[in-house]
Chains A and B, each alone.
Chain A
């Protein structure tokens, strides 16, 4: 049985369709990435899956429970953590753990064991009496995650969990997610950082409430398999960009720092086409090489196409 099974999920707010006929499944133990621009419908979807918002049409089974029929049952079985810190800043580390433990109905030996687990996981042993307000961002993030999984949920929703945290802490945070997944926990995570999305087993990209792409990172990159991406290091990048834009073989161009990326329509000797065009325009290029598409390329491409369709 899939951990999350979404079929035809739709949510309308008045005349506005926030989530439009979404269908996908997430397997147990999978890390499922949820990408989309702001307002694409990510948060609305998560809120429906967490039992906070009733779907207008469609069904969603989370841990086998229908979110529309038993939202409270869903809430008991899932963990949720958002980028907005969910901890009480005026409480100590211990008091936060105790509070969330109480909310999830933990007590006695179980609470003590889970408390120890969270303290170790977040690296907060010896800082139990520290005010949460005084913890550095990365620690707070891990504590928030710890509090969200105190009750050992089999499915965890992370809504932009690493916003505003330094790269090292992000790295440590993803190590925790990997470990949770390895232990069988299903993780559905939304993020803005496309490098983070590479950690996900599968990625869904949504645009305007619709599922625009779904697959592993490698699968998603296949959209560029017959459309090579050529990176040009030019002396005058802007002039090179304009020259390549006029080329019928070039589908689109973009600036990546000081280099130019051009996506070609066919895979026939792409480097040659570019070199000839630059020479014809009298522009000098230090290097012209074919590069692998990044998830960022994929994301932009998918969003553009979905927007054009």
Chain B
């Protein structure tokens, strides 16, 4: 025990002295959070809309109002010639153009089925499909109102049956609320894996490992002493991100702090075990750094459900995602922070995290013990 304390104290001294690493560990996460938190935003509002109105009637103006009043579109102007339409889209002045045919008003009056066209700039497929969805919804609503008015003059002007959606936990559907827990997992994973991976290889590279092995300290005490300070540091770093997110992005905290801290610690232990494993295999700090970064960055970014839903991935990829600890942590984190859920809602995730940590720790200590003697 005294030896563990000696190693931990030494490690703390080194961390404090190595201010560059310390700054990276503590500030880099908040920095990433800022960048990603503001840049990664899937909400689309105020789509620039141009209108080519061949009808210029009351009905056509009503349709345009329906688009503008929806809040999703902002009118940039009317165009007449097709050439103008091309120009507006090409120069990005308009992302969508609503084309209303002549005789629109008359067709509406005579209850003849008619079509309106929406031209959408498809250079960003995601945005385009979202914009298309908005347009479809607005036109459908407009159409229903027309039909109702025709069928029951003087009756209700809206639909008889309306869907009133209630979106729990994130009523405004702000994508930040969905992304920030993912970011916390993402950043915590990277910092924990990288810092741990470097800390052991550094000793190998400098030759101090040889001296340690000649001394009467066993691999387990050594590893314990080495990881505890980094665990504490990563934990502080994770909490810092959490508080930054609460401050900047109004991230709620609906669940229990105890559960949250417990889940974070469990996740960090697993991440550190992964770092240790890399450390026992890598030959230099450079290799360790790259492997640590790649093995934490990519899977956590792509395969954890951070951005891309796992359920829509090919089956094989879904299978692979099971070895990504962030996958489990994210479910738990979202459950605690956004839903205020208790242990029964996500205990399986914690079990998987514990399994990951145990397997990775066993592999790491196996490798280290073999290397030790």
Taking beta carbons and an 8 Å cutoff, which residues of A are in contact with B? 50, 52-54, 71-72, 75-76, 78, 80-82, 84-91, 95, 98-105, 107, 131, 148
Given known pairs A75-B216, A76-B216, A103-B3, the reply for A91 and B207 (CB within 8 Å) is no
User: Would A103 and B213 count as touching, CB distance under 8 A?
Assistant: no
A residues less than 8 Å from B212 (CB atoms):
103
- Contact assessment for A52 and B2 in the assembled complex, using a CB-CB cutoff below 8 Å: no
**How many angstroms from the CA of A75 to the CA of B6 in the assembled complex?**
17
Give, as a whole number of angstroms, the nearest-CB distance from A98 to chain B: 7
CB-based contact A85/B207 at 8 Å = yes
Q: How far is the CA of A91 from the CA of B17 in the complex (A)?
A: 8
Q: Is the CB of A105 within 8 A of B211?
A: no
Report A-chain residues with C-beta under 8 Å of the C-beta of B373: 52-54, 71
For B9, what are the chain A residues with a Cβ–Cβ distance below 8 Å? 98-99, 102
Interface positions of B (Cβ within 8 A of A): 2-3, 5-7, 9-10, 13-14, 17-18, 206-208, 210-218, 373
Cα of A241 to Cα of B165 in the assembled complex, Å = 103
Instruction: Let me know if B207 and A90 touch, CB within 8 A.
Output: no
How far apart are A65's CB and chain B's nearest CB, in angstroms? 12
Given contacts A52-B214, A103-B3, A90 and B18 within 8 Å (CB-CB): yes
Name the residue of chain B whose CB is nearest to the CB of A99. B10
Residues of A with C-beta under 8 A to B218: 72
Q: Which of A72, A90, A104 has the most CB of B within 10 A?
A: A90
Cross-chain contact B207 with A107 (CB below 8 angstroms):
no
Question: Could you tell me the distance in whole angstroms from the C-beta of A109 to the nearest C-beta in chain B?
Answer: 15
CB distance from A4 to the nearest CB of B (A): 16
Residue of A whose beta carbon sits closest to that of B4: A102
Q: Is the CB of A87 within 8 A of B208?
A: yes
Would you give the shortest CB distance from A81 to chain B, in whole angstroms?
Answer: 8
Instruction: Report the minimum CB–CB distance from B207 to chain A (whole Å).
Output: 3
Known: A90-B13, A91-B17. A104 touches B207 (CB 8 A): no
Whether B3 lies near A102 (C-beta < 8 A) is: yes
Contact B13 A105 (CB under 8 A): no
Q: How far is the CA of A71 from the CA of B213 in the complex (A)?
A: 11
The answer to whether B216 touches A80 (Cβ under 8 A) is no
Q: How far is the CA of A46 from the CA of B216 in the complex (A)?
A: 16
Shortest Cβ distance from B215 into A: residue: A103
Cβ contact within 8 Å between B17 and A105:
no
Max chain A C-beta neighbours (<10 A), residue from B9, B212, B215, B218: B215
4 more contacts with CB within 8 A, not counting A54-B373, A103-B7, A107-B2, are A71-B373, A75-B214, A87-B208, A105-B3
Nearest Cβ in chain A — how far from B21, in angstroms? 10
Shortest A74–chain B CB gap in Å is 9
A–B complex contacts, Cβ < 8 Å, 6 sampled: A82-B211, A86-B210, A87-B208, A88-B208, A99-B7, A102-B7
Contacts of A102 in B (CB 8 A): 2-3, 5-7, 9-10
The answer on a CB contact under 8 Å between A103 and B6 is yes
Contacts of A72 in B (CB 8 A): 216, 218
Set of chain A residues within 8 Å of B211, measured between Cβ atoms: 80-82, 86, 148
Contact A88 B14 (CB under 8 A): yes
Shortest A46–chain B CB gap in Å is 9
B3 CB to closest chain A CB, in angstroms?
A: 6
Cβ contact within 8 Å between A103 and B217: yes
Residue of B nearest to A92 (CB): B13
Q: Is the Cβ of B6 less than 8 Å from the Cβ of A86?
A: no
A84 contact from B6, B10, B13, B210, Cβ within 8 A: B210
Whole-angstrom distance between the Cβ of A140 and the nearest chain B Cβ? 13
